[in-house]
Structure 1
Amino acid sequence: MSDNSWTDRIVGARMTVDQAFSTRIAESEFSNQQWSLIMTATEFEIEHADDPDRARIVANTDSVEQIIPELDNMPTGMGAMGGQGGGQQGGSSSGGLVGSIKGALGLGGSDDGDGDADKLRAAERLTQEYAEELQSHLESDGRWESVRQAAAADA
């Protein structure tokens, strides 16, 4: 982990990517509130910052496992967004589309251990997709090289 100078440089880019990524979150099993908690527990790092050919943004999700149980206390999936679906809390008895999707993803039922592991894997995949989107955005804006160099200097 490093100083925050390179992350301070990308605040605007993060806001842009957040907006663009909102569609991906809407398609995921996480509500916006759950995603916000996941992102709070995620740190972004630039791996191999000193090597322009190998440098890439990665999501460090080491702390995400600690918040996974808290996700169960929040509204889930599409039912939690904008009041659609009656604000379902995501219980397996709720049925409907959300219940079907959760069941297919192994998120329904009472096997919390497996459900938590599935949620953790889904959160890790989604945060890494976000990291890749963020790097792609920085590259297309011509800012990646300066951000990479700042991260290398912080290391």
Structure 2
Amino acid sequence: MSEPSWTDQIVGERMTVDQEFSTHIQDSQFSNQEWSLIMTATTFEIEQPDDPEQARMVANTDQVDQVIPELENIQSSMGAMGAEGGSQPSSSGGGIVDSIKGALGFSGTTDSGSDEAKLEAAEDLTQKYAAELQSHLESNGRWESVREAASPEE
């Protein structure tokens, strides 16, 4: 049986950092639901894991741009719930027809500049999360073992 990957080894630390990082999310433009979606599309890597002085954790956000349009749907459904007093999601707020229109490029509601700003904000926030996660690992004496586990085997 093989050793768990370094990402599997830090699940507990990630849960702790998630809780500590919640104030950053509250201060950001993203809701908790949107942040969860962004984090689903984000992977973490350790750059230069062989070099103890230069190694650092970074967020790989290559897939985040694919979820940016869905953030608009989350905002629409949250707005619809707020307009209805929080009862049930509205069927008119970003439904199937709107999703299909958006996928085909017929949605006039998505501004590419707005999407770029959201992507930039998401990338910035995920990099801050990666730095906080690394700092947490360092303060708990786990960084070296995680860094070594991320090193390519020779």
Normalising TM by the smaller chain, what interval? 0.7 to 0.9
Give 2:130's aligned amino acid: A
Equivalent in the alignment of 2:101:
none
Alignment deviations for residues 55-88 of structure 1 (CA, whole Å, 9 cap, x no partner): 0000000000011001000038xx88xx7xx66x
Structure 1 vs Structure 2 CA RMSD? 2.4
Q: Once superposed, which parts of structure 1, at least 4 consecutive aligned residues long, lie more than 4 Å away?
A: none
Distance across 2 between alignment mates of 1:18 and 1:146:
21
How many residue pairs were aligned? 126
Normalised to the residue count of structure 2, the TM-score between the two structures is 0.75
Between the aligned residues of both structures, percent identity stands at 66
Matches within 5 A, 1:85-100: none
Equivalent in the alignment of 1:150:
149
Equivalent in the alignment of 1:104:
none
Normalised to the residue count of structure 1, the TM-score between the two structures is 0.75
Deviation at 1:4, TM superposition (A): 6.3
Distance across 1 between alignment mates of 2:13 and 2:153:
19
The answer to whether structure 1 residue 11 and structure 2 residue 50 are counterparts is no
Matches within 5 A, 1:43-58: 43-58=43-58
Q: SS at the partner of 1:57? A: strand
Deviation at 1:30, TM superposition (A): 0.3
Deviation at 1:153, TM superposition (A): 3.7
Distance across 2 between alignment mates of 1:124 and 1:142:
27
Equivalent in the alignment of 2:120:
121
Deviation at 1:35, TM superposition (A): 0.2
The answer to whether structure 1 residue 71 and structure 2 residue 71 are counterparts is yes
